[in-house]
Structure formats: structure tokens, C-alpha cells
Amino acid sequence: MPATALRPRSGRRLLAVGGIVGPVVFVWAWIGGGLAAGGYSAVGDAISDLARAGAPTRAVMSIGFVVFGIAVPLYALSLRLVLPGPAWIAAFVCGVATLGVAAVPLGRGTDGWHGLFAGIGYVAIALIPAFAASGFLRSGQRGWVGFSVAVAGVAGACLLATVVGPAHGLFQRVGLAAGDTWIVATAVVIVVRGRLLAPVDSADPTTTWS
């Protein structure tokens, strides 16, 4: 049953826009910064190297981190209103951790803190679709369940590969891109429909799970 009072769909939609803007700007920053940085390898170098202290691409990549860090928590608040379970918490944590990544760049003697925030963000982005799968399962939306499980698996496996294997820059990008794709896909649905799940009461199209 609904866990919170009804909220205007316009509010959910507005908040959900953050789930589109944040990932798009973030991906644009790492692609554009990578192309602009001389000697930089998207296969072997981490995204955070683009925001390293003294790097010519620091401003661009920092903007990407900050926009993502602000926009995704806003999206998380919308997700909380339309999907049961802790997926919204994982999204909120992912955004806040990304702000931490921006606040303590590599090359300033805070690499340990940077790694901690980055690790939290990586785990959180894989957990968003993993947590969401149960909410979709409860509502009988098998397609979303399969999509969510697949994204969680790809994101988790790729982000783990950034630690244990070569080509860590490539795996990092694939893992984050998978999670970002899930965020954007769900955000678009919320913006268009004002909800993710079928109404609790089919006679009342404004009622959603929360």
C-alpha cells in the first residue's frame, strides 16, 4: 500500500529530470575531457585522472562530478515517491559520494579519501538497479526486473574489474555507463508518465507506489 501521501506528479517529474541531466553531463565530461587530454587513455586511465590537481581537464571533469552529485540526489527523491525499497537511498548516496570525489581530487595528498568516496559511489550505482529489481518484481513488471538485474550484474562485474584487472579505465566506464543508463531510463519514464509502477487503484491514475 502507499507509504506516503499523494504528491503532485509535476513535482516528481521535475525532480526526475535530475536523473537525466546528471548522467548526461557526467558522461559528456569524461568523453570530452578524455578527447581533449593529450596522452590520456580511456582504456588504461581512470576518469578521476581527468580531474587530478593540475590537469588541464580538471575544470570540465569537476563540473561533471558536481552536476551529477547534485542532480542524482534530486532524482533519488523522485524515485522514493514511485518505487518501493531502498533503491532511492543508493541513488542518493551515489550522488553525495560523487560530490566527495569532486571535493578531494587526486594529487592533493587526499588520494585515500578520494578512493573511499569513489568506491562508495561505484558500489552505490550498482546497488540502485539491484535494489529496484525487488520493487519491480512485487508489481509484476518482469521486463524492468530483467533489465535491472542485468544492469546491476554488468555494473558490479565491471566495477570489480577496475580493481583486479587491466584496462581498468575501460571497465570503469562500461560499469558506470550501465548504471547511468538505468538511471536515465527510469528518469525518462517518471518524467513522461509521472510514475514507474502501475497505480495501486486503477480507478485513480494519480496514485502510485512510494
Per residue in 113-156, pLDDT tens?
999 999 999 999 999 999 999 999 988 899 999 999 999 999 99
Cβ neighbours of 128 (radius 10 Å): 28
Number of H helices, E strands in the chain: 7, 0
Q: Is the pTM of this model over 0.85?
A: yes
CA distance 87 to 122: 14
For the residues 24-31, what does the mean pLDDT come to?
A: 96
**pLDDT top residue among 74 and 37:** 74
The cell for 127 is: 546497488
> Does residue 76 lie in a domain region?
yes
> Does residue 198 lie in a domain region?
no
| pLDDT attached to residue 6 | 41
Percent of the residues in the chain that have a pLDDT greater than 90, as a whole number: 76
Whole-Å CA distances, 62 to 59, 190, 210: 5, 28, 33
| pLDDT attached to residue 83 | 95
Cα dihedral 57, 63, 64, 67, rounded to 10, equals 180
> Does residue 201 lie in a domain region?
no
Q: Is 2 helix (H, G, I), strand (E, B) or coil?
A: coil
Q: Is 195 helix (H, G, I), strand (E, B) or coil?
A: coil
CB 65 within 8 A of CB 191: no
Closest by CA position to 101, among listed 88, 87, 115, 89: 115
Closest by CA position to 17, among listed 81, 99, 74, 88: 74
Closest by CA position to 12, among listed 178, 198, 206: 206
Q: What do you get for the CA distance between the two ends of the chain, in Å?
A: 8
Give the structural domain span for 90: 9-193
> Does residue 207 lie in a domain region?
no
| pLDDT attached to residue 10 | 83
Cβ neighbours of 11 (radius 10 Å): 13
> Does residue 14 lie in a domain region?
yes
| pLDDT attached to residue 159 | 86
Instruction: Please identify which residue in the block is written with the cell numbers 542518493.
Output: 92
> Does residue 208 lie in a domain region?
no
> Does residue 206 lie in a domain region?
no
Domains: count for the chain: 1
- What band does 1 get if pLDDT is binned at 50, 70 and 90? very low
**Number of residues in the chain:** 210
Predicted confidence (pLDDT) per residue in 38-63, tens digit: 889 999 999 999 999 999 999 999 99
